[in-house]
Every structure is written in C-alpha cells, then in structure tokens.
Amino acid sequence: MSGRSDSEPLPDAHTEDASREARRARWTAAGAGAVLAPAGAAAALLRLTGPVPVLVPVAYACGAAVCALAAVLGFRGRTRRALWLLIAGLMVMALGDQFD
C-alpha cells in the first residue's frame, strides 16, 4: 500500500474544460443559427417585394430554413453538424445574392 486511504480523488480539470468547451460550442451554434435564420427570412421577404427573379427570395428562404435547422441541432448538442449546416445555409443565401 503506497497511498493514503483517506485521500479523495482530485477533480479532473480536463473533463471540466471539455464540458465548458462543449457548452460554448452548443451556444455558439444555436445562437448563430438563431440570428441567421430570421435575417435570411427578412432578406427573403424584402427581395420578394422587389423586381428580382423568383430564385432570389427562394434561395434566401431555403438558407434561412437550413440555418434554423442548424440552431435546433446546435441546441441539441450536434455542434459539428450544426456548424456545417450554418456554412451551407450561408452559401445558399450568398448564391441567392449572386442572382440579384
């Protein structure tokens, strides 16, 4: 017996840091999706009232829907998928901007 029997195990700092990083990633993904989804929806509504091709507001609306899905996934802890969906949603909105 080389150790004391009354000693308590030290808290693992690595698991606390990892859980803090995971929580931060969840909030980042959910927050970015929650901001980008209404922004894309508002852009779709603004473009819908103007003289632009139909593809432009559809692209903004689809990008907003993808960003809203990313917010839901980010809230549920699927941060990697959520961040990739945020990138895809922004690319779809940017594509709609190119057709404008």
The confidence band for 69, taking pLDDT boundaries of 50, 70 and 90, is very high
pLDDT tens-digit map of 6-57: 555 555 667 888 888 888 989 999 999 999 999 999 999 999 988 889 999 9
Sequence-ordered list of residues with C-beta below 8 angstroms from that of 54, at least 6 positions apart, any chain: none
Structure tokens at 98: 């190119």
* 4 vs 15: CA distance, rounded Å: 25
The confidence band for 93, taking pLDDT boundaries of 50, 70 and 90, is very high
Q: Is the pLDDT of residue 85 over 80?
A: yes
DSSP H helical ranges for the chain: 13-49, 55-75, 79-98
Distance (Å) of CA 58 to CA 2, 40, 49, 100: 70, 10, 13, 12
pLDDT (0 to 100) of residue 34: 93
The domain limits of the chain are 18-98
Q: Is the pLDDT of residue 70 over 60?
A: yes
